[in-house]
Structures are given as C-alpha cells and as structure tokens.
Structure 1
C-alpha cells in the first residue's frame, strides 16, 4: 500500500516520486517507468478519433489513482484518488486515511480545518467539501438529502454513520469545476504552469515559426523558455532563437544548447524512391540532434556537418513515437495553389498549418502528391507496429506524415539536393 502525501493545488507523492500539477505527460510516464514493481498495471486512455477533445488519462487501478491531462497542452490538470482503500494519505505529516483511520467528515475537518458549506450533486448523490486546490466527495444516503442545504456538517448521523470520503481530487485553483464538454470526454479545470521542478535544465517551446520564401523553407524561429539564472533564478526566462538550413552543428548547439540525444542514421529507407540509378550508401552516416522537449529533430549532413533537414513532431496518442517528444507548437504559412474555399486560408491568402490542422483541410488548399508513401515503423527487436501505418505526402520541400485519424503526425522540412552548396570533403575538419 502506497503511503502518500497530499499537497493541495500542487502534488501527490511519496519519498520516491511525486506527480506535480502542470507536469508534462512524458514526465509522468518517466516516473512510472522508474517505479516498475511498485506501480503496476498502468493503463493509458485516449481517443483515437478525437485526440484533442477527450482527456488523456493515466489510470493506475491497483493504486486507485487517476492522472488526467489536458489533451491540447498534454500537461497534468487533475489528480484523482478514486479508491481510498488502496492508499494511505497524509497532509502536513498527519495521516487522515489508512486501514486504521477512516476518512470521515470529522476526520477531514480535524486534519484540514473548517471549510465553507459544501456543494451537493443530486444526480450522483455526492456531497463535496472544497478547499483551495483540493476536494473531497462523500456519498450521501437519499434520506439525508433534504437537509443538505446548511452543509454536510449540519446533518445528524447515527453513531458510526458519518459519511466517508469516496473520492479525492487535487487540482490547481480555488474551485474544481466538474463541467465537461458536449462530448463528455473533457473535464474543464485550470491548468497550472509547468513547475520549475519539471524544467530539468531543458529548453521548452512556446511557439515555432517556420521561415519561408514564397516556395522554399529557410529555417525556424523558436520562442523558447527555460530556468532563469542569476538574480532571477526560480522563474522562467524567455528566449528567441533562429536556426537555418546550412547552419553548422556548432551553431545549432550554441542556439539550442546540447541535444538530449545524438542519433546516427543506420540507413536511408527512402533511398529506393530516388530517381538516381546508383544507390550506393554514403561513406558516413548523417546524424540527428534530438530535442525532445522542443518536439524537434535536426538532421546534419555527414560530410559538411550542416543542417539539411528539420522534423517537427505533433506527439498525438496512437502514433508510434507518442511520448518521445513534447508537441512542437509550429505555425507554417504556405501560399495556396488550389481555388477551393478553406477555413485555413487567411485574409492575406496564406494557408496557416499548425500542429492541430487536419490533413483534409490542408490538402484542399495545396496541390500535394496524390499517391502517398506508406510508412510502417517497427523496432529492430519487435517488427510489429500496434498503431498501424502512416501516410507521407510530399509538397515542395515538405513531407507531411498523416495518421489514419486525419491528423498530422510530423512535418519534415528539407533542403532539396540540387539547392545545397557543394563542399569538398577535404575542406571539412
């Protein structure tokens, strides 16, 4: 049985780990992976067809805990303890729920102090006591319902009949709103900022602007934030960085810091689609700088060590790479070359493509390649892909990877080979 400490409006945790409101989904998964053997039977719940309108949930049924993430920001907004019998709970060192201590209304008031009169949900027969950032839910017998108007504490219960907490929620803000969207899959609740304890000396992305000429991509302008240093330590610091095709790996490292991982391409599986007859492998491997918290990969040429490709990830559940990257909040403006009316077309005539655009809207405005390339990812140890194939469509110097639900999984921006400057191999150190 887990012995956990509740911090209202902040977190639920113990000596080994802590789930903090505002943390990214991938950080919560990392905690769970580090507790293999302690946290077991974990379930990830999401909607394949409506990933932006249904909450992203991590359910831990053996511990009676549910972590609810905002589907757009993918950050933790509600921590729910729905089976009080599976955990011990403390507040400021005082235990109020355990096999020996029943979380009755008297016990909650003794531990947390007086509160305002609670709210009653007549449909679910639940009475809620709300503190700032914390709510307790008590099931109330129907015979006591007429007297709930003056608060749960004003009701007279027989000895041993005091209501017991059935569910506890931790959230950010002064009041937990139980309203849901029309589809019923998304619970509205205030979303906390990313906690400073979750920065982990990494850069995080606010927005990515794709820099383009009328027909070609030039680079990226990244609006990023990280932990401030010096006198402003303890608060986030905003930065703006630009990386372009042709930048050296040293220049990219100066702009975006060292990558989270360096990955060498073993082979190029797209080489078969090139028109050239000679397909001998290059003498050296191109390599990626992986920036997981930016949702970005940067590919460098093996000979020139200069940027030749950017990959922007949208991190949708149901994709093979889900949870590897944070979502890249990009904005890509392209001039339309179709006459069909489209909601993506702005007043200036540009097509605005973001991480939330659906492919059917994009393809109605752009003359993309009609026959896609089928991409079926699989690891070297397990050749099966439970999420199925994706489809890659080419347009100018861009490749759109599209999922079966019509959302864009990634966009690859590349510099066509004919436009790259040629360098002698001997001139590269």
Structure 2
C-alpha cells in the first residue's frame, strides 16, 4: 500500500492529465472528471471520513472540516445510501494498492529473482498435543535450481515438520543448513528456576540453529543434541532484532480457559495483539519478566524494554505497543534423552558406553540408589533398574 497523506507536495496525473498540482486542486469534481464514475463511496461516521474507491485506488475526504454537517441517508434508493457532499471538497488522503479493496489487499509474493538460493516460509503452524506445543509444520517456498538456461522458473512449495526431541540430523534433513549456529555462553533465565542451585552444571553449551529467512530459531540440548525450544520472530519495527529475521507467519492454537469454553481453541497469529490474547485466555497469573536488550553493558536500547509472559508452555515477548515480538515454545516437561540412559538394558553396559557409565555414577553420587535399588531379574538373567519418578526428576533439576 502506498499512502499519500499530503497532496500539496506532489503533482499527480492520470492518463497524461493532471488532477493534482499547484494550479489544480484535487476536489471531488476534479476526481470525477479525471477518473469517471465508480461505485458509491463508503461513509465512516465514526471517523467522519468519506472514501471513494476505484480499482487499486482510494480517495478519502474528511468531513469534519466542512462548515455544514453532511446529510447522511442510510436508505436512499436501490439499497444505496446517500451523502450530500459540498462542492469543492478536497482529497485528504490517497491510497494506491493492488486489488479491488483496500481492506483485502495483501503484499505481493516475493519475486523468484530475490530468493538467491534461500528458502522462505509461507506459513508456520504450531502443532499441539494434549498438554501444549509439540512441534512446527512449515510451508516452505523455494526457487527452482539448475545451471544457466536449465534453471526452473517456477516456485517450489513443500511442507516440512519438526518436533521437540528431533535430533540435529533430523532438522538438517528437513530444513537444510542454518544460516548461523550460535552457542549459548550463559543462561540468564536460570535464576528464575525453582531450584537453580540443584541443577547439575554442564560442561557443554546449548546451541541455536538460526534460520533468518524462516524467522525461526531452534535450540538444541548440548548433551542430547535434540530440539528443546523453538523461537518464532515477527520482525516488527521498533524491536531490537528488527530487520534481522524474515517475518514468521505463524498460527498458534491456544486453549481457552474461560467459563463455558472448555475444549475450545482460538488461533493466535503474527498480527494478534497481547490485549486480545488476554481477553481470550485471562490475564497471566504472574507479572511479566522485563527484558532489556543492548549490544554491550554500557549501551542502552533506543527501542525500550519488552515484557515476557508465560502461558501454556510458551513465552510471549510483548512490545510496549502490545504487538508480539517473538514467541518461544518449550517442549514437554520430561527428561528427553536422559530417561533411556538411566534404564539399564538386559545386556551389560558396553565397555565404550562412557556416557551411560558417567550418568550411572552421577546418579549413585546423588544418592539415587535409595530410589532405584529395586532390581528385578528377567528371563535372561539380566538386571533392570526401575525408572525414576517425575517428582525425583524435578527435585534433581534434570528436566530439559
């Protein structure tokens, strides 16, 4: 959409004839003479605006500046309304767009010449299970490949799905190589954990796969190398990361927790505002976490702080204008990849299973024997350990 809000600073002509210049005022009579007849205009009584619409073009006339109040008749003739506009009314704003209606206009598709070998996401659907987010289903767009004249001039559309617990190799096979790999040096949210002092420090760092053209970040666990978080970016102006990521057109089904709305879901999109989400789901129980971003400790962020609200295994980063800056999705609260290592199989531990032995020794050093010493004998004579309960996992801080 192209909006011209001050017509005194431009010269405009249609079919070689000026309808707006220093000598010609863009009055409603001049618009009728230059563009011809069209459908009746639309009157907005709340804003006191009269919109005259053509194909791909709209003119707005502000009625509150007129000396006489216009006489509006909602039922005039043939199902049409009547609005007597004084002579000499000038255009206040002009809109140029693609399509038949300004309200239904959409941004055109990106030309294939701009893909430059990258893959873009047309839409990203958040998949849910009974407890919360389970993964992402991405509808991807790519240009055809081939050398010289053999290059495919058509756009390729395909779908890929990634889930919590997928391995690094699974994500690479589905989405391709990331634009960047970022290793976390610290976890600034660890202080908000119920028992941060009980968490076993890791010698490895979790790492992100940054897909800038998809608007998605994927966090992998340093030990299991499996997906533990998804981050979806909206790329709104006024955010610290603006113009780094391509906008992620996501759709998130949210479970309604209002009265008489059990089992119903509402969809949150990239363009939803936090006020509307709170009306559907109720206000968060806890106050938001204030997030300050800056390039260095001595610099300030000119865009201001953002606010992080936790809801249904998701964290919504909200800007000061109530737009959503990003959404972080968390996996289910179970020890992904660690449960199986603490189950001893019917066969003896192999000599090279250093990770299994290490975890077994750590479990013994943490006095887990009192919880796991109930041993049973199988038919082959092997011994199996009983799994830890969820309460024990939570006490140990081993949930990923």
Q: CA deviation at 1:176?
A: 6.4
Q: CA deviation at 1:390?
A: 0.8
Candidates 227, 233, 237, aligned match of 1:307: 227
- Which residue of the partner structure matches residue 43 of structure 1? none
Q: CA deviation at 1:253?
A: 1.1
Counterparts of 1:388-407 in structure 2, within 5 Å, are: 388-407=304-323
- Which residue of the partner structure matches residue 332 of structure 1? 252
Q: Please say if 1:246 is aligned against 2:165.
A: yes
CA contact (8 A) 2:59 2:93 kept: no
Q: Please say if 1:355 is aligned against 2:275.
A: no
Unaligned runs of 5+ in 1: 1-69, 71-76, 83-120, 152-174
- Which residue of the partner structure matches residue 113 of structure 2? 197
Unaligned runs of 5+ in 2: 35-54, 63-91, 99-106, 342-352, 357-400
Counterparts of 1:42-121 in structure 2, within 5 Å, are: none
Q: Secondary structure at the match of 2:301?
A: coil
Q: Distance in 2 between matches of 1:234 and 1:404?
A: 43
Q: Secondary structure at the match of 1:293?
A: coil
Candidates 211, 218, 239, aligned match of 2:127: 211
CA offsets 1:25-64 (integer angstroms, 9 cap, x no match) = xxxxxxxxxxxxxxxxxxxxxxxxxxxxxxxxxxxxxxxx
Q: CA deviation at 1:379?
A: 1.4
Is the alpha carbon distance of 1:128 and 1:223 closer, same or farther for their aligned partners in structure 2, counting shifts above 3 Å?
same
- Which residue of the partner structure matches residue 169 of structure 1? none
Q: Distance in 2 between matches of 1:316 and 1:243?
A: 25
Q: CA deviation at 1:177?
A: 2.9
CA offsets 1:300-356 (integer angstroms, 9 cap, x no match) = 001111100000111111111111111111111122112399xxx9xx821211111
Q: Secondary structure at the match of 1:255?
A: helix
Q: CA deviation at 1:189?
A: 1.5
Q: Please say if 1:318 is aligned against 2:238.
A: yes
Q: Please say if 1:236 is aligned against 2:152.
A: no
Q: Distance in 2 between matches of 1:322 and 1:181?
A: 35
- Which residue of the partner structure matches residue 288 of structure 2? 372
CA contact (8 A) 1:390 1:404 kept: yes
CA contact (8 A) 1:338 1:364 kept: no
Q: Distance in 1 between matches of 2:186 and 2:56?
A: 51
Candidates 13, 22, 27, aligned match of 1:128: 13
Q: CA deviation at 1:270?
A: 0.3
Shift >6 Å, 4+ stretches:
135-138, 145-151
Is the alpha carbon distance of 1:125 and 1:205 closer, same or farther for their aligned partners in structure 2, counting shifts above 3 Å?
closer
The structure having more radius of gyration, on CA atoms, is 2
Is the alpha carbon distance of 1:209 and 1:124 closer, same or farther for their aligned partners in structure 2, counting shifts above 3 Å?
same
CA offsets 1:351-395 (integer angstroms, 9 cap, x no match) = 211111111121222253331111111112753111111111111
CA contact (8 A) 1:177 1:189 kept: yes
Larger mean CA deviation between 231-240 and 202-211 belongs to: 231-240
Q: Distance in 1 between matches of 2:33 and 2:126?
A: 58
CA contact (8 A) 2:293 2:305 kept: yes
Q: CA deviation at 1:249?
A: 1.1
Q: Distance in 2 between matches of 1:369 and 1:125?
A: 53
Q: Secondary structure at the match of 1:418?
A: coil
Report the TM-score when normalising by structure 2: 0.61
Q: Secondary structure at the match of 2:174?
A: helix
CA offsets 1:379-417 (integer angstroms, 9 cap, x no match) = 127531111111111112111111111111111001255
Q: Secondary structure at the match of 2:244?
A: coil
CA contact (8 A) 2:18 2:24 kept: no
- Which residue of the partner structure matches residue 177 of structure 1? 57
Q: Secondary structure at the match of 1:267?
A: coil
- Which residue of the partner structure matches residue 139 of structure 1? 21
- Which residue of the partner structure matches residue 286 of structure 1? 206
Q: Distance in 2 between matches of 1:241 and 1:388?
A: 36
RMSD: 3.8
CA offsets 1:121-158 (integer angstroms, 9 cap, x no match) = 9x889441459xxx999835359x9999999xxxxxxx
